[in-house]
Amino acid sequence: MKASFRGFFVLSLVGFVATCVFGVLGALRLLVPLEHLEFLSFVRLRPLHTFLAIASMVSGIVGLLHLALAKETEEGWGAVSRIQLVSLWGFVLAGVGTLFLGLGSGREYMSWSAPVALLLLLPVVLGFLQVVRNRAQLTARSPEGTWLLGLGFGLLGVGLLESYLWMLPAVGAHFVRDLTVQWHGIDAFIAGLNVCLYGASMFLMDKTARPLRKQTLLLVATFSLLFTFGHHHYASPQPAFLKVFAFVASMLAISSFVRHSRAYFSSRATKCVDDNGVEGLMRSVQLWTIVSLLSGILFAIPQLNVYLHGTHLVLIHAMGSMIGISLIIYAGIFKSSPLRLSDSQARRVRLCVRAINLSLIALWIALGAGGLYKGIARIETDYLLFAPKLVWMYGAFLALGGVLAVAMVALSVEALRFLKRGSDGS
Amino acid sequence: MSGGEPLGDEGLRLWRAGNCVACHSLYGLGGHLGPDLTNSIRRRGAGYASFVIQNGKGAMPRQDLKDEEVAALVGYLGRVNALGEYPLREKPHAAFGNNR
């Protein structure tokens, strides 16, 4: 097994396990005061949870890129991959350390400080350059996958840079400018994660290259993702034609993924062997992609957005989307070696994936109901009156989130064991 | 939101240093554990906000801040409040929202 992607996958899996631990502790803090454990306050746990989730996804994405590069160019463990891996480990360790010390940015999602952000920017920029440099070889395998990987790394870089424009006094001390840039930075960065993962998935599924879509469509998508709020901000005062473009653009990667996964599933329909667990994982990715697509369309309707924006319903939309598509990283891991999963391993992987899907569905129902209630109640009545009626939701969040976390940890352990087997065998 | 006057540095600094965004949102951006604070000053008044910051309430722990720091934080929330309303009470009529 090529060590260049193994290191990124290990970091990603360790990060996902830590994400789950901090997530469960955070959910526990919602119900139990634990005032004597000040160092585990919710204010500290939540940014740690989101930080580690983001770090794990980026590391997994870089690993998937190296997996594609290793297969196409026989590129091994070079200086660039070493720099990327060291930088990502530095990002994780420095981020966790500074957040524990209360030295974060105090901002949503991009909770780490600016110097720490440089450790994330470096592997992202190098990833973009790697896609550009190897575009010919990658395009021969999957034109659309290459295009999406390039766009995705570009969006990650742009989103990251935008998220620190608040350090300029002209932005940071001006609430409307800061909020506008902050929304866009988060949108661009999250879009970058999704687009990269969908792009990388095409290298896992495609046996033969599928033709690229029309360049005009891709250019419109790029323009829209760079200069609008995608499907996230329909109350913004941008011209309607930009919003229509943005809506189409923000769904392009999703529709590309569905197009490729449908071809992959139909090509496998006649075969009886499991693709080392990849097919099951990709079916789950497709399920959560479709759920995200449909809920994204629904929530983007302004008349509904007024009620639903800023509620737990949007939270589970984001959770379902991010957790669902991060399974692409696990598919990449199981596809990264010629080794086969044993029958018992394959059974455990299927069980984990089923538990992830079921707990996410249950969370969708619980947080969906709670979010809808909150969205209506916050307009009709007062926070102090409706908030006590939502305590049950935090109980459901802890129970179902706990099942989800256990399943994610178990799947990560299986993937780590698979990587170790591959490493021992190489 | 109607505009964007520059906001006082100290209240903003305290908002970020306290990582208030972990539990509270402004214009829907932030955590959902506590209430959105965009119009908290208009709805409850500065006195109530000061009291909750200094004494805590429910899941909100008391904040170890000096009186002038509490005043700066409440001042920041007051300036955010003056910029607009969230959540909107009025539903947009156009398919993709009202353009201004």
Q: Which of B5, B22, B87 lies at the smallest CB-CB distance from A43? A: B22
Kindly list the distances between the CA atom of residue A263 and the CA atoms of A116, A189, A269, in Å, as whole numbers in the listed order. Answer: 41, 28, 10
Q: What is the pLDDT of residue B53?
A: 95
Residue A228: its pLDDT value, please? 79
Chain segment A266-313, per-residue pLDDT in tens: 887 666 566 788 889 999 999 999 998 889 888 888 778 888 888 999
Considering only CB atoms, which chain A residues are within 8 Å of B26? 179
Write the pLDDT tens digit of every residue in B28-69: 899 988 999 999 999 999 999 999 999 988 888 889 999 999
Interface with B, mutate which of A100, A176, A236, A299 (most B CBs under 10 A): A176
Band (B7; pLDDT cuts 50, 70, 90) = low
DSSP string of A280-323, one letter each residue:
HHHHHHHHHHHHHHHHHHHHHSHHHHHHHTTSHHHHHHHHHHHH
Predicted pLDDT at A304: 84
Q: How far apart are CA A19 and CA A38, in angstroms?
A: 19
Q: CB A411: neighbour CB atoms within 10 A?
A: 25
| Cα dihedral A46→A51→A57→A60 (10° resolution) | -130
Region B3-18: mean pLDDT is 75
Rounded to the nearest angstrom, the minimum Cα separation between B46 and chain A is 17
* pLDDT class of A202 with cuts at 50, 70, 90: very high
Looking at beta carbons, which residues of chain B come within 8 Å of A374?
32
CB A252 within 8 A of CB A217: yes
A233: confidence class by pLDDT, cuts 50, 70, 90: low
B87 contacts A310? CB cut-off 8 A: yes
Q: How many A/B residue pairs have CB atoms within 8 Å? A: 124
* Per-residue pLDDT at B100: 46
Q: Tell me, what's the pLDDT at A74?
A: 53
CA distance A157 to A166: 16
A104:B92 CB<8 A: no
- Residues of chain A with pLDDT > 70: what percent? 93
Higher-pLDDT residue of A418 and A299 is A418
pLDDT at B98: 56
Q: Do A108 and B33 lie within an 8 Å CB cutoff?
A: no
pLDDT at A123: 98
User: What is the pLDDT at residue A249?
Assistant: 76
**Is residue A422 over pLDDT 80?**
no
pTM, to two decimals: 0.92
What size, in residues, is chain A?
A: 426
Q: What is the mean pLDDT of chain A?
A: 88
Does A41 sit within 8 Å of B27, measured CB to CB? no
| Whether B4 and A177 lie within 8 Å, measured CB to CB | yes
Q: Determine the Cα–Cα distance for residues A225 and A230; give it in Å rounded to an integer.
A: 6
Residue A337 has pLDDT above 90, yes or no: no
Higher pLDDT, B67 or A253: B67
| Mean pLDDT, residues A77-103 | 93
**Which of A183, A140, A147, A192 lies closest to A165, judged by CA?**
A183
Residues A66-84 pLDDT 10s: 999 886 555 555 889 999 9
Collapsing DSSP to helix, strand or coil, A392 comes out as helix
**Whole-number Å distance between alpha carbons of A210 and A263:** 10
pLDDT digits (tens, 9 = 90+) for A176-185: 899 989 999 9
Whether residues B61 and A237 touch (CB distance < 8 A) is answered with: no
Q: Where residue A127 falls among pLDDT bands split at 50, 70, 90?
A: very high
Q: Give the pLDDT score at B2.
A: 46
ipTM for the whole complex: 0.87
